[in-house]
Amino acid sequence: MYAVFYPPNFAAQVAAKQRPELRKRAFALVDGEPPAEVVITANQAARTAGAEAGMTKLQAEIIPGVAVVRRIPEDEVSALAVLHMVACMFSPRIESVENAPGTYALDIRGMNGLFGDEAQLANKLRQRIMAAGFLANVAVAQNFDAAVCLARGKNRVSVAPPGHEAYALRDLPLHVLNPTMEQAETFHAWGIRTCGQLAALAETDLISRVGQAGKRLHLLARGAAPHLMFPMEPSFEESLIERMELDFPVEMLEPLLFLLARMTDTLLERVKSKALAIALLRVVLHLDGGKQHKRIVRPALPLEDKPTLLKLLQLDLETHPPSAAILKLELSAQSAAPYRAQHGLFLPQAPEPGRLEILLARLRKLLGEERVGAVELKDDHRPNAFRMVPFATPPPKKSEEPSFSVATALRVCRPPQAVSVALVEHAPVRVFWEGQRYVVHEIAGPWRVSGQWWSEANWCREEWDVRLKAENAERVCRIAFDPRSRCWYVQGTYD
C-alpha cells in the first residue's frame, strides 16, 4: 500500500508560509532572469483576478490587487526538507514523485500497528503536514500511480480499497494523469473528460490512435500502471561526520587526540559496516576568536586501521598546530574501497602502505613539506628543473632499462655558490672558492644556454666544465657566468 501526499500549488504555499503578509493577498510568483521574468504560479485569489502561469511580469503587474513577488528557491528547499522529515516519521521507505514538487509517496506496508488502518494513517499524516504549515491532499491506494492521481485529483483524504482503484479514479478529470498538451486536446476533441471514460476505451484502439503513450495513460486511468519504487536513502558520505563542542577551550593537542580517537573510531565503524575504508579525513577546528583551522589528511591508500589514521592526524596537527584555543571540533571522512594486495614471497622489498604513510608524515614533520618525496623531472631545458611529488611505492615490477655505461653524477650546489674568477682572454684561469685558491688546470666551454625568452622568467648563462687544482685538492666542477648579474658561481661538482 502507498500513501501519497500532494501539497497543491506548492511554490505559492511556500511563499505564503515564508512571508506571512502575503497570506491574505492575491499574489503571483515570478521567476527567471530579469527582464524576461514570467509568472510560474499564483494563489487562488490572484487566479480569480486573472493572473495565470506563463504571463510576463509586466502583464501580472497591471492586474489590480495582485502583488508580484519573486520566487526564492532556497525557501522551497527548506520546505522540502520539512516535508521530507514529516514523511520520514511515517515510513522508512519514501519516494519523491517526479514532476510534482513537494509530493512524496510512502510505502506504508506494515505500519498499521503504529498508525492504525489506512484511513487513520492518512488522517494523521495530513494533520502532521498541516501542523508543519502546509495544506496537502493525502491518498492511499494499492497502486503507486493510482495513489498519486487520487492525491492530485481529490481534496483532503481519499482511500481506494485494494482492487477498486479504477472505481476510485473514475470521476477524476484527465489532467491528473499528466497528459501532454497534444494528448489533452485529442481527448477533449473525442469528448473524453474523465479517467473513467478513458479507461472504458478499448486499449488496442487507443494505442492505434495515440501510440504507446496511450497505453500508459490507459493503464494509469485504470489504476494498473506498474511502478518500481526507488526509496530515497540518506547519502552515506554525508553521514560520515562527527561534531563535538568542548566545555572549555583546549590549547593542548594531547587531550584533543582522545576526542579525535573516539570520533575516528565511530567513523571507522560506520565505514566498515559498508565494507569500505577511509580515504580522507577532514578536521575542522573552530578556534577561539571565530577562526577555523582546517586540515586534510589524505593517506595514499584507503585505510581501515585506527592507530594509523590517528597517528597521521596527530602528526599533521603537530606539524600545523592551530593558532588559538579550540572550542569545537568537526571530523568528517570520505570513504573508498579498501586497498587489497596480493603479496608474494618472491616480490621485491617495498614498504608497507600503512607504515609508509606514518613514516612520510613523520619525515614531513622533521624536514618540511617540500623536502620529502619522489622527484619528477620537468619538461624544461633549464638545468635541474624538477618537482617533488608524493612518494608512493609503485607496484613491485621489474623494469628493463637499456643499460648504458655509468653516468658521471653532478653534485648540485643549492643555491649556487658565488665565486671569484680571474679571467685571461675571456676564459677563467683561477677560481677563489670557499677561501681557497684553485688553478684552472683544464677547461671546456663556454656552453651558452638560455630559455623562456618569451616570458619574464627568461634566463641565460655561460657554462664551463673546469678541472680545478689547489695545493692538496683536485675537483672537476661546473661553473657558470650569468651575463645579467655579471656574476660567476659554481653550479656543482662532478663526483
Residues that bind another protein (CB under 8 A): 347-352, 355-356, 358-359, 362-363, 366-368, 371-377, 383-384, 386, 388, 391, 393-394, 396-415, 417, 434-435, 442-445, 465, 467, 473-477, 492-495
Tell me how far, at minimum, the Cβ of 82 lies from another protein, in Å: 53
Beta bridge partners of 469: 439, 474
SS3 assignment for 251-265: CCHHHHHHHHHHHHH
Cβ atoms of 279 and 302 closer than 8 Å: yes
427, containing H or E segment: strand 427-433
User: 376 or 456: whose CB is closer to another protein?
Assistant: 376
Tell me how far, at minimum, the Cβ of 452 lies from another protein, in Å: 18
Q: Which three cell numbers stand for residue 101?
A: 514538487
SS3 assignment for 143-209: CHHHHHHHHHHCCCEEECCCCCHHHHHCCCEHHHHCCCHHHHHHHHHHCCCEHHHHHCCCHHHHHHH
Tell me how far, at minimum, the Cβ of 371 lies from another protein, in Å: 4
User: 342 or 349: whose CB is closer to another protein?
Assistant: 349
User: 191 or 415: whose CB is closer to another protein?
Assistant: 415
Tell me how far, at minimum, the Cβ of 410 lies from another protein, in Å: 5
Tell me how far, at minimum, the Cβ of 394 lies from another protein, in Å: 5
Tell me how far, at minimum, the Cβ of 483 lies from another protein, in Å: 21
Tell me how far, at minimum, the Cβ of 252 lies from another protein, in Å: 24
User: 23 or 298: whose CB is closer to another protein?
Assistant: 298
What sign results for the dihedral spanned by CA atoms 83, 85, 87, 92?
positive
User: 334 or 493: whose CB is closer to another protein?
Assistant: 493
Q: Which amino acid is at 405?
A: S
User: 19 or 475: whose CB is closer to another protein?
Assistant: 475
Q: Could you give the CA distance from residue 465 to residue 479 in angstroms, rounded to a whole number? A: 6
Nearest to 439 by CA among 452, 424, 418: 424
Cβ atoms of 69 and 21 closer than 8 Å: no
User: 247 or 434: whose CB is closer to another protein?
Assistant: 434
Beta bridge partners of 468: 440, 475
Specify the long-range contacts of residues 196-200, CB closer than 8 Å, at least 24 apart.
196/166, 196/169, 196/170, 196/171, 196/221, 198/174, 199/166, 199/169, 199/170
Pairing of strands 410-418, 292-297: unpaired
Tell me how far, at minimum, the Cβ of 459 lies from another protein, in Å: 16
**Half-sphere exposure in the Cβ direction for 57 (13 Å, CA):** 13
CA 86 to each of CA 62, 116, 121, 298: distance values in angstroms, whole numbers, following the listed order: 39, 17, 13, 38
Q: Which three cell numbers stand for residue 244?
A: 563535538
User: 199 or 361: whose CB is closer to another protein?
Assistant: 361
User: 191 or 395: whose CB is closer to another protein?
Assistant: 395
Tell me how far, at minimum, the Cβ of 460 lies from another protein, in Å: 19
